[in-house]
Copies of this chain bind each other. A is one copy, B any other.
Amino acid sequence: MTTINIPADSLFGLDNLPYGVFSPAGGAPRVGVRVGDSVIDLAVALGDSVFSEPTLNAFMAQGRDRWVSVRNQISELATGEIPSDAVFSSDSVEMHLPIAVADYVDFYASENHATNLGRLFRPDSAPLMPNWKHLPVGYHGRSSTVVVSGTDIIRPCGQRKSPDQANPDFGPSRRLDIEAEMGFIVGTPSKMGDSITPDEFADHVFGAVVVNDWSARDIQAWEYVPLGPNLGKSFATSISPWVVPLLALEAARIDTPVQDPEPLPYLRGEEKWGLDIDLAVEWNGHVVSRPPYAQMYWSPAQMLAHTTINGAVASTGDLFASGTISGPEKNQRGAFIELTWGGKEPVAVGDETRTFLEDGDVISISATAPAAGGSRIGFGEVSARILPATQADR
């Protein structure tokens, strides 16, 4: 038997207890929970085969009562004696995609981001579309290209057409960008034909991750009318490996900004589901932006209510992301197209400057949130390196 030492300033203390899928050297992927700098193998520690699965989906599908009960069991484990073969150093394990992604929907819930993008993509029109303050605008993304932090991102190729070109050409994206977002994962499914109210959010949503929704702005700008982004986004979306349970975010719950006009009744609830989460974007090890999730106009509870109001089913493993998080200040913008104003205002990255991503660049996005008693919990980070294009000769 052993005990787990939790450093006093750890972002993975007992208030957090996030779930992930890990493999020790030579072992198969299985479900673990992060405590301090340790990972507890839950199948071994709790003797339940649902944690021997290579994704969290089977456990997430068991529902909220079960999530509460397992969280209580883990709290006891982490403060007492635990079998030595159930504990690994977090440095020694490989992390995997924690969920089998069912549907992936990406929203557009930051007023600052939507306004900035509107100005950049449609300079001759009002930046916010008339629908934007009436519904959380979102679109479906590609589930099969959601990857875990640490997976290299190959620069995508596609059709590019700058305003001075008569016709598009083909080649590697020259405006490869990030979008710093939070993502929410459905555990308890709904039935087709039903809808989930904003106040039923916590019955359905298991937890949250940090998301980097990679975006090839040149491909996107040419392709996206009238049916929305496709190839400019579908090559990859990265998520952090540790799923922070919604149960760990009680102290982070705040009101959203005032919503004016008042949303339609199906988007209203009594529960607060704004979230006081602070993100930090590191470019080659240098923090270039600190997007504040607290500023997001639409709450994740409203996003899920909207997604299901037409009777669409929510499935275990559904991932929905907030869209880029941008605050009102320049150094709070969560996408480089905003931070560099369409590439016209390069930013300092250490001793260098950047507009969009170069091959070899490394992006890490991390997030933290308040916990009980003034301490903080961490989401860890979503990190990836850009590799050169491979399809440039097609």
- Which A residues lie at the B interface, using CB under 8 A? 102-103, 105, 108, 118, 121-122, 129, 131, 134-135, 137-145, 147, 154, 156-159, 161, 167-170, 192-195, 197, 216, 219, 222-231, 234-236, 261, 264-266, 306-307, 309-315, 318, 390-391, 394
Contacts and interface: CB of A to CB of B under 8 A. Distances in A.
A193 B226 contact: no
Contact of A140 (B118, B135, B141): B141
Nearest to A266: B394
The 5 closest A-B CB pairs, nearest first, are: A228-B228, A156-B310, A140-B140, A139-B227, A266-B394
A357 to B, nearest CB: 15
Contacts of A141: 140
Contacts of A311: 154, 156-157, 235-236, 390-391
A38 B169 CA distance: 52
Chief secondary structure at chain A's binding surface: loop
Given A135-B159, A193-B154, A144 B313 contact: yes
B226 A227 contact: no
A194 B129 CA distance: 36
Contacts of A168: 131, 134-135, 264
A266 B131 CA distance: 37
A167 B135 CA distance: 12
B143 A143 contact: yes
Max count, chain B CB within 10 A of own CB: residue among A102, A140, A144, A310: A310
B309 A131 contact: no
Contacts of A313: 144-145
A226 B197 CA distance: 25
B137 A102 contact: no
Contacts of A143: 102-103, 143
A228 B231 contact: no
15 contacts: A108-B227, A131-B168, A134-B167, A135-B168, A137-B223, A137-B226, A140-B234, A144-B313, A167-B261, A219-B310, A226-B228, A231-B307, A231-B309, A265-B394, A310-B391
